[in-house]
Structures are given as C-alpha cells and as structure tokens.
Structure 1
C-alpha cells in the first residue's frame, strides 16, 4: 500500500528519537518521502542563537522542523521560534518524541503546526524569565504568543499551574490553544485492487460530483435521513465489504446498526477525500466517527479508511468497503469529533481553507444535533436548555 508523507515522517523520527536529550541543542536530518525534516534535539541554552538555526535552514531547506527537547532557556526558544517564522517553515511534533516546557515556544514559530496527541508537556517553567531579563514575563510572553497566532488562554492556563505540576497536552488542548493547525495522521490509501482504477484519464467534473455524493452520504448517515438516503441510492446489488449482497440485505444490516447506535456522527477528515472517475467513480477518504446509544449508555469512536464505488450515470452506490485504523478506548463523549472541530476551526481562522471552514460549520451542527454544545468559556459539554 502507498502511504502519506506523514507515515514516513513518523517512522523515520521514531527510529531516530529515544528520549528527550539534556545536551545542548544539536541538529539532525531525517529524509522522509523526499521531504527533509530538521530535528532539533537537546536543551535550549543562552548560547543557542537563532542565526545558527537560520544557517542550518538555508543549507538544508527542510520542509518540517521537529523537536526532541526537555525545554530550557525561554529566550533562546523564542529566538528559534521567531527564526522559524521568518524562514516560513512548518513544525511537526510526533508522539514518539516530546516537546517540553520552553520547547513549545520554539514549536509555535511554525507557519503550519502539526502535532500528535500527548506529544507536548507544559509546566510553569514555560513562562519563566529567560536569560536576558529585559522584561518580566507577562507582556513579553503574551506578545509572542499573539504574534504566533496562539490563543491567550494558553498563558492563563500555564500561569494557573502549581509549581511542579506538569501537564501533558491532548490534541484537544493543543487545538483549543491554537498550537496546532492540523494533525499528522497516517493515512493508508487502498490498493489498486480496492480502487479498480483504469489507465484512462479521469473526469474532473465527475470527480467533483463523486466527492459531493460521498460527503452527502456521510452527512445523512449522521442524521435521521440516513436510511431513506441509502434506500434511494444503493444499487440493486452491492459489493459490501468484499461480498456481493442484495440491496435489501445491506439495508437490513444498516437498519440494525442504526437502531443499535441511534446517535451517530460521521465526518470526512478535511483534505483526505479523493475521487477517480472513469466509467464509474471510486472515492477514498478518512472518516472519523462517534456513535452513542442512550438506552445502553454505550459509545464508540474511531477512524476508518473508507472506499466507495459510485455509478455517476445512475447515481447508485455499487460497492462499499473500509478498514478501521483507530478505535478509541473508554469513550465518554465525542472527543474525537470535538478535536476535529477544533483543528478545522483553527485552520479556517488562520488560513481560510474552504474545506476546513465547511467542515467546522457542519461539525458544529452535528455535535449540537447529538447533544453537545460549545459553552461560553470555550469548553464543550452536554447541551442545556436555555
């Protein structure tokens, strides 16, 4: 199977990184899918001047900068962060590494920032006075965080921590603080046999129509419209997860699922949906899901690599397949979907990416329909009657 740049990035970084180094800053280069990643390792010290980093970037032209650092001098970290922003480089943080304390300030310099869950750790030393002593932290740090596009609540959160209190940030935390603009998600594309793509040139217009149909399929399956939509749009026979099935048989299975999980959110992850149309169309995408049964008080969530074959002449679904890549444990609520909303909302606000803007608006509606609302203090929880 083919894989995205991030799969290669994660594998390569994991092979190189052991534990956060406490030596002075040093550089390493990781080649991944023809993209060079500059790995910054060690503790930030006053002697780590930004011109050292700028020279390294000019010499190697990396696409991403990643970190393996326990933190260190805040002035040096901020200097690195501003250098990263001047050089217009994106930052990447993976769970096999750690970016701790002042390292977060350097990571924040990325023009685009990608991170995996639990790859960052903060404590009060994040906002400790640096070596320069030119300013007491408050205004200086607030100005830097604002310049990097971070939410001011990050400052409040860090200053509220007790001495010695170390917090691992979830992806929801990072997205809420504006630390991330996306997630380095390993996406495995289906095989040639799964997609059955010919050598003919695809139709751009049909590709767009197929994508819209796929998005509508996921949207309706998240509502009470789901069964009627499928009734109208399945072919008389469907190759369902590799087996030829009658339409009636597939609909019966779908009905049983809908009754078992009456609350459903299925969300196509922004930027992952692709269509190839010839005589028929094949759409592949990563879909995040959350399901809940009020009567059983059970819930589940995860991600699936989904594949759909669609006939643009009849507008009927001919085949459906998928492979679950992630299944969350101990699900108490739609954290995965909220995380998606936070990252899409950040991408929409920072870059006005249309697919992210459309996605965050749809997710907000689907979360609300499922009984989850955003509160006045920007936290999420069960909706309450006004």
Structure 2
C-alpha cells in the first residue's frame, strides 16, 4: 500500500554466523521502521548483535502473539527504541549449550559465567531491568516462561510509547488503512445499551476488588438514591454503610465474574445475571473466605445507576487457604490466550481477561512466578514468600460433590448432514500431525453436543489428550485437559448434551479430580470440580467416584 512504510520480519533461529549488517541493508532498501519476530531463539551472541543493530538504527520492535519471540530472541527484541509485545508472546528460560558442544566441566562453568555477565551488561545497556536475567535463570532450559503484560512492563521489556500499526506492516503484509479510499472517515461504532450494561457490571466487580477507598468511592456514584437491596427497599446510605462495614472486615478482596455466565437483557431497565467467584482475606483476623454465588443486578441506563441488587450464595469453601477459584479462572484464560488460534479477536480477549484476573490476585497478595526461586515460575504463591498455591490451583474448583445432569445442558439440534473434514494444509495445519486419527474420528459421526466428535489420543502410558472436531464446519479444537498434567484421563459425554465430565490425576498433588464442563462451541466452561481421592481413585470409573 502506498504511503505505508514496510516492516521487517526476522524469522528462524539466530546463528553465530548471522551478520546483522544484512538487517541494516534491508532497512536501507525498504525504509522499514519496525521489526517483527518469529523465532524460537538460537545463538545468544548473534541475538544481542541484532539487538544492538536495531537500537543503532532507531527501529521499533513489535511482537505478535500469533508468532513468538522466545529464548535468545528476547534479547534481540529489547534492542527496539520503542517496544510493544502482546501478552504471552515473549518467552524466557535458562541458556544452554548446543548438543554439538563438547565442553568439560570447568570450561562449561567458565562459559556460563562469561555469557551471563555479557547478558547482564547488555540488558543494562538496553535499559532493561537486570532482574529479568534472574527470572530467566529460574526457568529450566527445557521449559519456557511466557511473560504477562504486567511482567513485561515491570522488567521494561515493553515501553510506554504506542506503536501505530497502521504506519508499519511486515514486508509482504499489508496493514488496513485507517481512512477508506473515498476519504470519508468512518463513524465510531456506538456501543449498545447492553454493551454499556456489561461494562458497568465488569466495573462493579473489578472496582470492588480494589482498595477500600477506590471501591467505596465507585459505589457512592453507582447506586441510585433508593435501591431494592436483597428484596428490601433501602436507601443508598444504608447500603453504603453495609458495604463499608464489609470492606473494613475484609480489606483484601478478589471478585471475578465467570466468563460466559453473564446474561444481559435491556428493556427500560437492564437486568444483568451471572456467576461470580470470590476470595477475601482479613490479615488482622487471620481469616479468609472463598466461594461462588449467583448475582442479579438491575441498572438504569438513562441515569447510569444501580437500582436493584440481589444474589444467592451457591457454595462456601470450607478451610480455604488460597484464592484457588480465581487462580482457576486465570489458568483457564491463560490456556485460551496461549492456546488460541493466533491473533484472533477471541484469543486477544482471553489475554486481556487473564491480565485483569492477574491484577486482582496481585491485589490480594498472590504473585505468579518469583525471580530467582526455581519451581515458582509456573505457580501462584503468596507474594511475601509464603506457601505456593496447591499444585492443582491450576485447575482447582469446588469440593462439593454435586453430580450434574446431562438433561440440564441439552442441545437444540443434532447435526445429520455430511461431515466436513479439517483443512490440514491451511486453516487447521496445527493439527496435521494427528490428521489420520482426527479423520477417522470425525468420519464416525458426531458423538457429543449435537455436532462434535470427541477424539482421545494416547501420548504414553496413562497419558492422553483430546481433540474435538466440529462435523459441521470441519474445524478441530483442543480440549483443555490432557497430557502429563492430567494423567489417566477419562471422559463421559453424550450426543444430545453439552455436558462433559472429565476425571484425571495429578502426580504433583497425588490426587484424583472430577470436573464438569459445558461447551458452547467457542469455549469450555468449568461448571464444578471436586477431589475424588488419591491417585488410586482415578483407576475407578467416573460413575463410581460421583455416585
């Protein structure tokens, strides 16, 4: 497109023989201002050389989540004068020698010390917090820690300046113009009343998770002068007094609406319903509270005020010691963010929801990762150095053994047309490795939720993972449980229901768990979960553990 300078895409692993002068020549030839990356890493020395060249040329760096910039690539990325990266697109871990290296012990130690010193000096030179190196050293070479938006800002990997993506596109890729060829500037899309109601609901629970002063100031402006408060007509002053007492009693709060549970209907007033999970703590009283509740809010769009509030507690977690429900939501969104289809709108929304949940956990004193302490890089733990969240906080849920009924999640129709198979050469190439198993499973026809084929594939003794194929569109997708984190995986499902039950074991905790999922075609929602016993319980059928 004319008038839009191109950007350069640096793709592949960095090699010691790479010459950054090639990059400089390409910049001169194309007029590029921005560098994108799609690299798993490579040689550290070469990556730092590229980073210095990028800095000397005054280039910006931008990282898309649909690609990745991992390991040594992160060093090249921080060379940008202005740097922006989407959450989960930058990965770090310990450096390691190539398999061809033949160092003895003393030489290897000396080499590691030397390169570590070089990296430290380079990070300082680039204005990056050297604690990033400490974090990297806590992650084993065979693992990768993908950084959140807040972590990238904390370590100064990203900068505060904004990159105008309309002014730069990778070579061969065109950016969409901000102004149509007619020269007419499009009008911004006006949010609907329902959109505004959803935004109010999110703001209500997000602000209630903030410090008392912020939370109470928001509520003072949010309520109408008179409100139906839990079926009783009450003045705003009385409601605020009750909220103030609760906030004083529980000064640390994390409330988050379970994504997908929200429903809004506007006709005069807007009625908002959903499921909210919470964790509160009183450090002075050494008490915590955790649970799940239904809520109903009524909002007057004309005044922007809340006129009714009601709800019902569904479960209170006895002996709770950590915000495992909120951590579960974070891991669910993290899975969608890291495992979504490139830079799709839904993937980006999941990444943003993950950041919001992470901020709430931080606010109640729980942190993700801990520089310099091995084993914390993939765990939530108390920020003050206290206990790590239980190994299954990644997938923790209710301890209430409530058996859900498939009939309550009935599908509207059962697909009876011709099965469409995946496009393994293009759209669905990420699943190409398992194309034979997927084709066989889908050709057998739907077996779940009206139109889907659930296909379980082994990955070793006691290990399996699951792919779900849409027989109507031909699109395959991953199920959020499976692999070494979810051993001895059993599934229970049927054609006429969206309900799916999964049972699996986790070696870290030594426990067996049962979970219920609802699938709406776009995302998996955890409905409930309980601990069935030790790992041996997973040798039983699901029916035995839930009876």
Q: TM-score, normalised by structure 2?
A: 0.34
Q: Which has the higher contact order (CA 8 A, sep 6+)?
A: 1
Report which of the two has the higher share of helix: 1
Q: TM-score, normalised by structure 1?
A: 0.45
Query: Which of the pair has more CA radius of gyration?
Result: 2
